[in-house]
Amino acid sequence: MNRSPLVDEKLKQVPKAPGVYFFKDINQKIIYIGKAKILKNRVRSYFSGTKNKDAKTVSLVQNIANIDWMVVRDEVEALLTETNLIKEHRPRYNIFMKDDKTFPYIQFTNEPYPQVLIIRSKKLIKDGHKYYGPFTDTRYLRETLRAIHKIFPLRTCNYFIDDNVIKKGSVKLCLDYHINRCEGPCEGLVTEEKYRNMINGIEQFIKGRNDDVRSYLENKMSHASEKKQFEEAARYRDQLQAVEHFTHRQKKISQDFIDKDVLVISSENNYGVGVLMRVRNGLFIGREKFNMQVLDSVDVADNLKHFVIQYYTSTDDIPPVILVEIGFSEKVKLESWLSERRGSRVKIMVPQRGEKVKLVQICRRNADLLLGDIRLKKMKRRDVVSKKLLQLQTDLNMSAAPRRIEAFDNSNIQGSHPVASMVCFVDGKPKKKEYRKFSIKTVDGIDDFGSMTEIVTRRYSRLVKEKKQLPDLVLVDGGKGQLSAGKKALDNLGLSYIPIIGLAKKLEDVFIPGHSEPQNIPKSSPGLFLLREIRDEAHRFAITFHRQKRSKAMVKSELEEIRGMGKERVKKLWSHYKTKEEILKADVDEIYAATKIPKEIIRKIKVKLDAGIASVLK
DSSP 8-state assignment for residue 421: E
Answer whether 274's CB lies under 8 Å from 367's CB: yes
The per-residue pLDDT for 275 is 92
Which of 104-108, 238-242, 249-253, 412-416 tops mean pLDDT? Answer: 104-108
Is the model's pLDDT at 123 over the cut of 70? no
% of the chain at pLDDT higher than 70: 88
pLDDT digits (tens, 9 = 90+) for 361-420: 999 999 999 888 888 877 766 655 678 888 899 989 888 889 899 999 887 655 456 788
- pLDDT tens-digit map of 311-348: 888 787 889 999 999 988 888 888 988 998 888 999 99
Q: For residues 451 and 249, which has the higher predicted lDDT (pLDDT)?
A: 451
Confidence (pTM):
0.52
Q: What is the greatest pairwise CA distance in the chain?
A: 102
Distance of alpha carbon 297 from alpha carbon 303, whole angstroms: 8
Residue 429 scores a pLDDT above 60: yes
For the ranges 149-163, 376-390, 456-470, 586-600, the one whose mean pLDDT is highest: 456-470
Does 185 sit behind a cis peptide bond, omega within 30 degrees of 0 on the bond before it?
Answer: no
The yes-or-no verdict on residue 243 having pLDDT over 50 is: yes
- Reply yes or no on whether the pLDDT at 9 is more than 80: yes
Question: Of all residues in the chain, what percent carry a pLDDT higher than 90?
Answer: 17
Q: Supply φ then ψ for residue 322, to 5 degrees.
A: -125, 120
pLDDT at 495: 92
Q: Which CATH superfamily does the domain covering 5-90 fall into?
A: GIY-YIG endonuclease (3.40.1440.10)
Return the pLDDT at 423. 94
pLDDT on residue 474? 94
DSSP string for 559-604 = HHTSTT--HHHHHHHHHH-SSHHHHHHS-HHHHHHHH---HHHHHH
> Which range, 268-277, 422-431, 505-514, 556-565, has the best average confidence (pLDDT)?
422-431
Query: Has residue 259 got a pLDDT over 80?
Result: yes
pLDDT tens per residue, range 43-53: 988 888 766 66
Does residue 433 have a pLDDT over 60?
Answer: yes
d(CA 316, CA 106): 11
Taking alpha carbons only, the member of 483, 482, 443, 436 closest to residue 462 is 436
Domain boundaries, the chain: 5-90, 103-247, 260-380, 389-548, 561-617
Homologous superfamily of the 389-548 domain (CATH)? UvrC, RNAse H endonuclease domain (3.30.420.340)
| CA pair distance 258, 321, nearest whole angstrom | 8
How far are the Cα atoms of 156, 349, 607 from residue 587, in angstroms, in the given order? 54, 48, 13
SS3 call for 559? helix
Considering the four listed CATH numbers 3.30.420, 3.40.50, 1.10.357, 2.30.30, the one that applies to the domain covering 260-380 is 3.30.420
pLDDT at 98 over 70: no
Domain 260-380 shares a fold with domain 389-548: yes
